[in-house]
Chain A
């Protein structure tokens, strides 16, 4: 029978404990080490005690860490807890170790020796490495997703159970000038158009896990105080881990809404414009039923034809838009005398324009240009008609043309002394269906300049405008000279 005291002999427990024990002087010389640790290291006691320094068991990096953290910490705190070192012993003997240490102090607190317990944590170390890898991977994924979200032109956000926005992407942050930690829900709600508030609250409360996502068009106030349209979509999610209750996306549809509005308005205007000549035509045809005097017939038929002409012009404008939009505008290029063409335009208009005279100033020296004769005629007539239309009460408009100093281009311009166009509107007048606010009483489809500009673009040219309100406008363009 073993003596009970043999079983709990402290020296035996020390030597063969399931952990390593090591004692050293403050400067690192090892003064005692147990058998377990010697076995792990593959060393004999007499090769270690009094001969080796603790840092001899460490890699260089470990030794630096020891000097910078372990040793000062023991000096200051009297102990260190759970530091992680790789211990290096005889060749092929190394293991990750978790080290706890106590300092042995004298009465004045001066460190005399350090006792440490060393645990082999090979298994735990693998687990920690995995944890660290998982953490790094997670961070990389997070960064990647944030990058994707931030580069998106769509606003993206999430809402927690309390209704507070707990994530928003870069686009949203920039648009609403939001910073992390802002009370986003409140800020957005204050920017919401009053008419949309009730709508949104109702949609929000009736939507949910049962009814699914909801989408709506709402308006938010922008930095300059105007409201812009957004298409927002909120999808209910139920994720207790991320505390996300809603996933939201928002796209600015302001331009789309404006374009739709403009198209609606255009249809309205076009209906009126088409209706006018048809009404005239109908009136004369009814009168013709009853009136048979030859002079009257002649007059009514000519007026009816005029109405039909107007109708044809409107319809051809609409057809032109169709051709331009589908990219089917093709040119029939020929070489012709520019002055001849301009003169023929004036001849065509003279009988029609009763209110203004067209003043000309040509310095063309019989310049020949290469262009689509019919389309350029359309451009000149349109510009002259506009000049007349937008200078009510004036007596004349002018048409100028000259050869550019380089001799390669002819410059054509049409000038009026009419109502003019305000600077903010200038860049919009070439848009389809656009009509300057102040002149909406003057009839027209809002297509003339759009068609003109597109014809010139097809010629490699560009229509330019200079204008001053109540002083008038100058529209000009160039055509290449045929050499």
Chain B
């Protein structure tokens, strides 16, 4: 049986009943949530997964056509929720997963009751009257960069490829490595992510949502976070002290606090 749970390497744990789905961002997998999830153990049912192509998902299920737009990734979430019969969940998406969460919620508004977006950006490329933070050249530069880190990437990938059945110390490595994405798929995912435009999807969001904005985030700058806030109905905005694009990794305590406060409100 090829279940979605296996395909997306779904992990479920926690003592509560309220489901909370954490969706990783580009270039990561579910291990990027490892500093966050402990805080939710008591009161929530935590659902982690890897998008097809990331982490320990079934790489054979990768379909270049399906995953050529964020809708393909949103379908992963819809599939997971359908298989686990999840509804009224809390969705926490990092980076590109914020927009994937919006797409999933718009397709099936009963899935989530609250949507939390960490470093969301509906459009990365600058346009007349819109600041996304990137020129097309910047992106070409990034893609080139990923290509030139090809050798570095494969060395960080090697243990994942070797498998870890009889080498438990590699298991420890894997849990701490969240960049075990297939480089070719990562390259395509990068293009899908950075060329997507989900600005028009924001206003269709029919549930409460939170925008978590970091300081000095060059991937999702303040202007983008503000755009999301003003164009999304029922959205709350929070500006963190944390800097960069991955506060759930660099400043987990603050990130947990922001999420907790919002869920209590």
- Choose from B25, B139, B155, B219 the contact partner of A81 (Cβ within 8 Å): B155
**Is A61 an interface position by the 8 A CB rule?**
yes
Stretch in contact with the other chain, from B38-46, B47-55, B102-110, B176-184: B176-184
Contact A55–B218 (Cβ < 8 Å): yes
Contact with A along B120-155 (1 / 0, CB 8 A): 000000000000001100111111111111111001
Stretch in contact with the other chain, from B76-84, B200-208, B245-253: B245-253
Contact B219–A67 (Cβ < 8 Å): yes
Complex-state Cα separation, A132 to B146, whole angstroms: 12
Stretch in contact with the other chain, from B5-13, B26-34, B224-232: B26-34
The winner among B134, B140, B155, B179 for most chain A CB atoms within 10 A is B179
**Is A89 an interface position by the 8 A CB rule?**
no
Contact A72–B32 (Cβ < 8 Å): yes
Contact with A along B141-174 (1 / 0, CB 8 A): 1111111111110011000000000000000000
Residues in B neighbouring A65, C-beta threshold 8 A: 142, 145-146, 149
CB distance from B79 to the nearest CB of A (A): 26
CB distance from B34 to the nearest CB of A (A): 7
Complex-state Cα separation, A63 to B145, whole angstroms: 10
Given contacts A83-B152, A84-B152, contact A67 B246 (CB under 8 A): yes
**Is A359 an interface position by the 8 A CB rule?**
no
Residues in A neighbouring B34, C-beta threshold 8 A: 76
**Is A285 an interface position by the 8 A CB rule?**
no
CB distance from B254 to the nearest CB of A (A): 12
Chain B contributes a number of interface residues (CB within 8 A of A) equal to: 41
- Choose from A63, A83, A84 the contact partner of B218 (Cβ within 8 Å): A63
Residues in B neighbouring A96, C-beta threshold 8 A: 148
The A-B contact count (CB < 8 A) is 100
Complex-state Cα separation, A81 to B151, whole angstroms: 11
Closest A-B pairs by Cβ, 5 of them: A61-B141, A61-B142, A60-B138, A27-B243, A67-B245
Complex-state Cα separation, A125 to B148, whole angstroms: 8
**Is A223 an interface position by the 8 A CB rule?**
no
- Choose from A61, A63, A69, A111 the contact partner of B144 (Cβ within 8 Å): A61
**Is A305 an interface position by the 8 A CB rule?**
no
The winner among A27, A77, A81, A85 for most chain B CB atoms within 10 A is A27
Residues in A neighbouring B145, C-beta threshold 8 A: 59, 61-62, 64-65, 85
**Is B216 an interface position by the 8 A CB rule?**
yes
Residues in B neighbouring A75, C-beta threshold 8 A: 246, 249-250
CB distance from B100 to the nearest CB of A (A): 16
Contact A128–B142 (Cβ < 8 Å): no
Nearest residue (CB) in B for A68 is B27
CB distance from B208 to the nearest CB of A (A): 28
Residues in A neighbouring B246, C-beta threshold 8 A: 67-68, 71-72, 75
Contact A69–B179 (Cβ < 8 Å): yes
Residues in B neighbouring A73, C-beta threshold 8 A: 179
Given contacts A68-B219, A72-B178, A81-B155, contact A128 B141 (CB under 8 A): no
Complex-state Cα separation, A67 to B214, whole angstroms: 12
Nearest residue (CB) in A for B34 is A76
Given contacts A60-B218, A84-B151, A132-B150, contact A71 B244 (CB under 8 A): yes
CB distance from A76 to the nearest CB of B (A): 5
Residues in A neighbouring B197, C-beta threshold 8 A: none
**Is B217 an interface position by the 8 A CB rule?**
yes
Complex-state Cα separation, A347 to B175, whole angstroms: 100
Contact A72–B249 (Cβ < 8 Å): yes
